[in-house]
């Protein structure tokens, strides 16, 4: 079996954008750009953290170098 890493990350990012945008509007109808950006960023990182274990130093260092390791 071969995992399509790109598709997994793409889905995590897309779902994070949608969720973060909705979350920014949860308590106000007019969130600031900063609030929207923070909520989207948080949601994307939470989704990615569900599919990537950042505790593995080797994987994390490869991600910092632009390589994807799963």
Q: Are 41 and 2 in contact (CB under 8 A)?
A: no
In a domain, 43, yes or no: yes
Total domains in the fold of the chain: 1
Is the pLDDT at 42 greater than 80? The verdict is yes
In a domain, 47, yes or no: yes
**Structural domain that includes position 38:** 5-64
pLDDT score at 58? 56
Among 11-20, 36-45, 51-60, the least confident range? 51-60
In a domain, 70, yes or no: no
Show the CA angle centred on residue 47, arms to residues 37 and 28, nearest 5°: 35
In a domain, 44, yes or no: yes
In a domain, 35, yes or no: yes
In a domain, 69, yes or no: no
Mean pLDDT of 20-39: 96
Report pTM: 0.72
> pLDDT over 90 for what percent of the chain?
64
Q: Are 9 and 48 in contact (CB under 8 A)?
A: yes
């Amino acid at each position: 079996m071969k995992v399509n890493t790109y598709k997994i990350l793409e889905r995590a990012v897309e779902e994070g954008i949608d969720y973060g945008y909705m979350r920014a509007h949860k308590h106000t109808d007019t969130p600031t750009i900063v609030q929207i950006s923070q909520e989207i960023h948080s949601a994307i990182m939470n989704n990615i953290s569900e599919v990537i274990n950042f505790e593995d130093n080797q994987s994390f260092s490869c991600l910092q170098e632009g390589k994807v390791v799963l």
